[in-house]
Chains A and B, each alone.
Chain A
Amino acid sequence: MADLILKDVVKSYGDVNVLKDINLDIETGELIVFVGPSGCGKSTLLRMIAGLEKITDGTLSIDGQVMNDVPPAQRGIAMVFQTYALYPHMTVRDNMAFALNIAGKSKDEINAAVGGAAEKLQLGPYLDRLPKELSGGQRQRVAIGRAIVRDPKVYLFDEPLSNLDAALRVATRIEIAQLKEQMPDSTMIYVTHDQVEAMTLASRIVVLANRGIAQVGSPLELYERPRNTFVAQFIGSPAMNLLGGKIVGTGDITTLELADGAGQITSNYPSRSEDMGAEVQVGIRPEDMIATEDDNYAFAGKVDITEALGEVTQLYFSAPRPGEDTDTVIAKLHGIHRGLRGQHVKMTGAPDKVHVFRDGISLHHR
């Protein structure tokens, strides 16, 4: 139904560009998550789609119609706000019916739409209550219901779970996922800074950083094949370790020598002959680090701190390392490992789990 296309979109306040070169095609039925650090412009981008912020340059089209100057109410969108934004003086029923009343819909039509949404969200018993008489989770459901009754082409969610406590957040996240399954034809755009929400909900994730799109892809694509060091470190927790190194063998398999390692390790990323001798950053996720006794390894260091969580044991290695300006190296080993603290340990990664970045860009994505 609704293809949403952003083409060369720019947002600037005066001379300051907050977003530039935003190009994105969103297909009907997708659940797209905008994720990024605070201040990356993800909410601004969402508000531009909603029509609450002007688009400085470029075009936004929904279903082939350019929407730059169309008022928000006529764009076929509905938005769910972080703070719920319920009308405090109206009952749940009136909150949900407000848009339809404004549009001059008949009473029967309004009752049917509100009733349907209330049933979908189990809000039936609360229809005659005021927002202040509801819990946080119920308020957020009303906000979602207010969006549903308008039957929009595109749903916009602006950090809808941030104001809920941890347990409710998980429950509501699952409710949103189920809601999406009930409405396979509706497109949803969801902004969050929480990567767990992004990974679990998204059909595709858009990572925003440095005023632009860092990478677009399915959650596992971003995890397995991050395009650049930013995405590599942003997706996954704890963040991917980046180690200094040099390419010493090119081809379908790249051979590397690492500053803190010994001998040579390999990565399944292919490299070109001109990469020979290039300084690169080698990325290995903490959960992909393997302890080894081999003479070829990626990293060796003294274990400063161990965190035994039962299911995993996290090792923190001494940092900073001489001449390196990177974060502490972390390894996450499965199961229980006793007596590693203070030990000198050699770590490496399997060839298919070793990422190589030249000038910040993954060899895979060149």
Chain B
Amino acid sequence: MSPLLQGIITILVGVFGCVGYFYAANLVLDKVIFPARGPHAGRNINRATAVRPWLFLFPAIAILGIYLVYPVVGSFVRSLYNRAGDEFIGAGNYATLSGDPGFQTALFNNALWVLFVPAAATFIGLVVAQLTDRLSWGNIAKSLIFMPMAISFVGASLIWKFVYAGDPDIGIINAVRDVIGLSPVDPVQIPFWNNFFLMFILVWIQTGFAMVILSAALRGIPEETIEAAIIDGANPFQLFFKIKVPQIMGTIVVVWTTITILVLKVFDIVYTMTGGNFGTDILPSYMMSFMFRDDGRATAVAVVIMVVVLPVMVWNIRQAQKEMR
């Protein structure tokens, strides 16, 4: 069977299967289990109404349970076992982690990523959104800045490998150094700062996301409040930082935390660019280096990542819900 046909059949079965499930389940509930007739018609209607939401939620809860909740619990349990998975060692993996300099480096680097990438992407996105708002060619500029969003992290890393390439005929950084007579360097091997060269790739990708969301938020600010501030004597900087930015603070927080969560999940860039060498490891790439070799430690790192992401996630969802109201 051709993949195209397979895809179409999957879609049809999926969509009509859902519709069929909802229709059939509803019918069974109303006609067979709690029929709205007989001596208990009123009671039956009430019971059917109470059961119906659970009936409709069941597929989603079941699938999320199998593919999301079970792996979380399973990973946590696995992290309590040894390398082979046949001996319970309690917090042993976590103890090993905390003593491992590699883990400490990854944790420290991850902290840098979490601080720098969301801040830089949000700030640049905000400034670009404001600057392109009134330009005639602003939409073209926005499209260009948004485009990296469509590139996979691995693809983006490959592009930046060229930018950072050591050969002055390929890498733009070394081309510039060549012109002013400096010898070539490999940016991803400069200790400490190489982290920022890697982070910049993610900033390059995520700025477009921040820009699009913040641009919409800026346009949502009532024009009158801006005019009132102009009459009150605010200059363009005061207008931006005292009137506009505070009014879209909720959106800024949502963008910021959304990027933060993404940062805690990204391993592709580090994996592609350095493979975690030269002191650039972060938690996800550190985890990858143990996967299939020591699943006990890998799952322990996964649990650590989840614990770190969780509070940001909760805050993010709260803010997003507040924005919607």
Determine, out of B96-104, B241-249, B261-269, the stretch whose residues face the partner at the interface: B241-249
CA distance A88 to B224 in the complex (A): 12
Within 8 Å by CB of A89, from B232, B238, B246, lies B246
CA distance A60 to B242 in the complex (A): 31
Measured CB to CB, the closest approach of chain B to A78, in angstroms, equals 7
For the complex, would chain B's binding face be called helix, strand, loop or mixed by DSSP majority? Answer: helix
Within 8 Å by CB of A99, from B233, B246, B247, B249, lies B233
Whether, in the assembled complex, B172 has its beta carbon less than 8 Å from a beta carbon of chain A, the answer is no
**In contact, B232 and A85 (Cβ under 8 angstroms):** no
Whether, in the assembled complex, A282 has its beta carbon less than 8 Å from a beta carbon of chain B, the answer is no
Give the nearest-CB partner of A102 in chain B: B233
Whether, in the assembled complex, A45 has its beta carbon less than 8 Å from a beta carbon of chain B, the answer is no
Measured CB to CB, the closest approach of chain B to A158, in angstroms, equals 9
**In contact, B238 and A73 (Cβ under 8 angstroms):** no
B243 contacts across to A, CB distance below 8 A:
87
Measured CB to CB, the closest approach of chain B to A143, in angstroms, equals 8
A51 contacts across to B, CB distance below 8 A:
231
Query: B-facing mask of A28-64, CB < 8 A → 1, else 0?
Result: 0000000000000000000000111000000000000
**In contact, A73 and B228 (Cβ under 8 angstroms):** no
Which bracket fits the contact residues of A? 20 to 34
Whether, in the assembled complex, A77 has its beta carbon less than 8 Å from a beta carbon of chain B, the answer is yes
* Contact A77 B233, CB 8 Å, known A83-B222, A83-B224: no
Measured CB to CB, the closest approach of chain B to A34, in angstroms, equals 18
**In contact, A87 and B231 (Cβ under 8 angstroms):** no
**In contact, A79 and B238 (Cβ under 8 angstroms):** no
Give the nearest-CB partner of A103 in chain B: B233
For the complex, would chain A's binding face be called helix, strand, loop or mixed by DSSP majority? Answer: loop
B233 contacts across to A, CB distance below 8 A:
72-74, 99, 102-103
Give the nearest-CB partner of B228 in chain A: A85
Measured CB to CB, the closest approach of chain A to B1, in angstroms, equals 58
Whether, in the assembled complex, B45 has its beta carbon less than 8 Å from a beta carbon of chain A, the answer is no
A83 contacts across to B, CB distance below 8 A:
222, 224
**In contact, A102 and B238 (Cβ under 8 angstroms):** yes
Within 8 Å by CB of A79, from B228, B242, B247, lies B228
B246 contacts across to A, CB distance below 8 A:
87, 89-90
* Contact A98 B225, CB 8 Å, known A89-B246, A89-B247, A89-B249: no
* Contact A73 B225, CB 8 Å, known A87-B243, A89-B247, A89-B249: no
**In contact, B247 and A73 (Cβ under 8 angstroms):** no
Whether, in the assembled complex, B229 has its beta carbon less than 8 Å from a beta carbon of chain A, the answer is yes
B186 contacts across to A, CB distance below 8 A:
none
Within 8 Å by CB of B232, from A82, A84, A88, A150, lies A150
* Contact A73 B230, CB 8 Å, known A83-B222, A102-B238: yes
Query: A-facing mask of B72-116, CB < 8 A → 1, else 0?
Result: 000000000000000000000000000000000000000000000
Whether, in the assembled complex, B227 has its beta carbon less than 8 Å from a beta carbon of chain A, the answer is yes
B238 contacts across to A, CB distance below 8 A:
102
**In contact, A85 and B249 (Cβ under 8 angstroms):** no
* Contact A85 B224, CB 8 Å, known A99-B233, A102-B233: yes
A98 contacts across to B, CB distance below 8 A:
229, 232, 234, 242
Whether, in the assembled complex, A331 has its beta carbon less than 8 Å from a beta carbon of chain B, the answer is no
A77 contacts across to B, CB distance below 8 A:
231
Give the nearest-CB partner of A73 in chain B: B233
- Contacting residues of chain B (201-231) with chain A, CB-CB under 8 angstroms: 222, 224-225, 227-231
**In contact, B232 and A52 (Cβ under 8 angstroms):** no
Central interface residue in B222, B227, B232, by most chain A CB within 10 Å:
B232
Going nearest first, the 8 A-B pairs with the smallest beta carbon separation are A73-B233, A85-B224, A99-B232, A89-B246, A85-B228, A81-B224, A102-B233, A72-B231
| 21 pairs, A vs B, C-beta closer than 8 Å | A72-B230, A72-B233, A73-B232, A73-B233, A73-B234, A74-B233, A78-B231, A84-B224, A85-B224, A85-B227, A86-B225, A86-B228, A87-B225, A87-B229, A87-B246, A90-B246, A98-B242, A99-B231, A99-B232, A102-B234, A146-B228
19 new A-B contacts at CB < 8 Å, known A52-B231, A73-B234: A51-B231, A52-B230, A72-B230, A72-B233, A74-B233, A77-B231, A79-B227, A81-B224, A85-B228, A86-B225, A87-B243, A87-B247, A90-B246, A99-B232, A99-B233, A102-B234, A103-B233, A146-B228, A150-B232
Residues of A near any B CB (own CB < 8 A): 50-52, 71-74, 77-79, 81-90, 98-99, 102-103, 146, 150
